[in-house]
Amino acid sequence: MMLQQHMPSLAMWRDITPHPKRLVQTKTSSAHILIVGGSVTGLVTAWVLLDKGYKVTIVSKEWANYSADNRLTAQIAGALWEYPPAVCGAHTDRISLSHSKRWCMVAYHAWDAIASVPGLSDASGIRMMPSGFFFPRPIEGDPAQFSKMSEIISSGVRGFRHDAKLLKQRRVNPKYGAVDAYELLAPIIDTDKAMMWLTSLVLGKGAATVTETIAGDLLPQETALRKRFNADAIVNATGLSGTELAGDSSCYPIRGALIRVINNGKDFPKVESALTITADAASDSNEIIFLVPRNDNILLIGGIAQPNESALNLTLDTPSVKRMRERCEAFLPGLEKARVDPVYPLAQGLRPFRQRNVRVERELRALPGADKPSRIVHSYGQGGAGWSLSFGCAADVALLVDDALKDAFPVAMEFDPSYSDDSESQTSTGSFDSMAMHSGDD
């Protein structure tokens, strides 16, 4: 069964609801799904499964919080929705990229639906705002960028505009070197508020939570875990722990950081749109510009990319962080006057990347001592795009769970021809390191 191709879209109100009441009520006979991982991927997956009528238990070693030094990766993320390849240019695997284009549009429409309801927008921290992308050369002269722009235009996003006048309108320094730009309306997410809201939502829908660290490869302990939690299937949504829980040695961290500055209009003109220069458009893979309003008071300044650096010991005085701020100040005059958030000045975290990028797939290895296939479903490796891909990945996970419960034999992820182009130019970042990224979203 080719589950990875031509999967139906997931739609707000039809398939899921952002209210605590379930869309489909559970029955005594409803299957029970154990989700390992309590970040955005795990919570959105729980939401989708709950509204399909499943019983859900989420196990996580920690949960969303307001600690200055222990927030989840999903909270630290920039959480700017982007069409793949994202600003970081890091999702380059052809199979993964073809699915990511579909996943991101499912998420786009879901976040847009939430943001369209004033009460929900405020409660969830989801807003639709202008998001501008700037380029050092005319887009029409760059085949890869022109192809990507054409896909975006036809993708179904709102408010698209290709106009070099955006540089002046968004106060970009004319000496910085940008000559072309386009803009669209995109979900911009206050991740602290959104994670708290998502947690409350799935609890309201009946999810159970367990605070615990599950260690080791899930496959050898699948039978024991299912028995212990009375679970019919397991979803692995653990990010970097994919190395351990999925026996996947291709997972690796990329350290990123974002400076948080006061954006109330007193020190510099208030920034009310996202402004970025992508890794694949910059003259240097380190020259990433990432300016995103977090909420009405905070602007995020980024970003940096440090593969296989796992120590969270960056400070505002770290040279790479200082250079990051200097780049953004050179790009947008006035930022040199910005004051850092005194409570939480620097957000830093590890993005969960994988060499072949995102994995949304059944466990392909045989279940030891069993004549039936494993009922583990994986969803990890989203890297800096967890928020952008969330609902799309969750929709596919739900179908894979359905398949696993039937004990159908698993099929590996395959190329999705419905989201491809005629060239492979978009699956490459040219001279840029495929592991490079900004501290984008997760």
32-427 belongs to CATH 3.40.50.970: no
Asked if 437 and 72 touch (Cβ cutoff 8 Å), the reply is no
Q: Which residues are annotated as a binding site for FAD?
A: 238
| Band of residue 282 on the pLDDT scale cut at 50, 70, 90 | low
Identify which has the larger pLDDT, 424 or 201: 201
Model confidence at 323, in pLDDT bands (50, 70, 90)?
very high
- Asked if 26 and 49 touch (Cβ cutoff 8 Å), the reply is no
Hey, how many other C-beta atoms are within 10 angstroms of the C-beta on 420? 16
Express each pLDDT in 200-230 by its tens digit.
Answer: 999 999 999 999 999 999 999 999 999 999 9
What single DSSP character describes residue 325? H
What confidence category does residue 434 fall into, taking pLDDT thresholds of 50, 70 and 90? very low
Report, in angstroms and rounded to the nearest whole number, the Rg of the chain calculated over CA atoms.
Answer: 21
Binding-site positions for D-dopa read: 351, 384
- Residue 426 in this model has a pLDDT that exceeds 60: no
Peptide bond into 303 cis (omega under 30): yes
- As a whole number, the mean pLDDT across the chain is 88
Residue 425's region, left for phi above 0, alpha for psi from -120 to 50, else beta, is: alpha
pLDDT in tens, 343-355: 999 999 998 888 8
For tokens 């050898």, the residue is 220
Give the chain's length: 442
Distance CA 273, CA 263 (A): 12
Q: pLDDT tens for residues 122-176?
A: 999 999 999 999 999 999 999 989 999 999 999 999 999 999 999 999 999 999 9
Q: Which residues are annotated as a binding site?
A: 238, 351, 384
The residue-averaged pLDDT of 29-53 equals 98
pTM of the predicted model as reported, rounded to 2 decimal places: 0.90
